[in-house]
Amino acid sequence: MGKRPIIVHARNDFLFLGFDQLINLAAKWRHMFNGNAGNMPLVVRAVVGKGWGQGATHSQSTHATLAHFPGLTVVMPAFPDDAKGLTIAALQQDSPVVIIEHRALYGIDGEVPESFEATPIGKARRVREGRHITIVGTSFMVQEALHAADELGRHGVEAEIIDLRSLRPLDEETILQSIKRPGI
């Protein structure tokens, strides 16, 4: 019908209740009907994290599970500009995209362009240059990796930090280029 629905799961654990529709229908829609039944431009925002008082049914993250299903795109922004850019990119897709947002990142400051530009899905971001080791992270763990790199730097170790931004598709090329560099 030309619409681009956005579903928000403030607790990503409840996404499990919609897994059949998401991974067995939406993700496979194009393939089940050989492309003859239109597109499935669905965006799901699922919120994870924070670590306090959430209990057993509010403490899980579904990103690893979701990244294994063909037909589904899974992104995890770590910075404010990517939160905007990946959302724009998700809304431009003709297949389902799940955006996993970590609650602890909502307070992070950063430059966000006013323009309406998509962040490329499937392209990792080199956040910090380094020549000794590579640390690859997603979402909140990119922030933790930056702290770890600062500590390593105090001991003479230069860590390169790569923010995957996208779990599916995965930018293996950027990771492999980093770990193949001389000195690593």
Q: Does residue 132 have an active-site annotation?
A: no
CB 123 within 8 A of CB 171: yes
C-beta neighbour count of 14 within 10 angstroms? 13
Backbone angles phi, psi at 86, to 5 degrees: -70, -30
Strand pairing partners for 8? 45
Q: Which of 58, 102, 132, 147 is catalytic?
A: 58
Cα–Cα separations (whole angstroms), residue 144 to 1, 112, 169 = 42, 21, 23
Catalytic amino acids?
Answer: 58
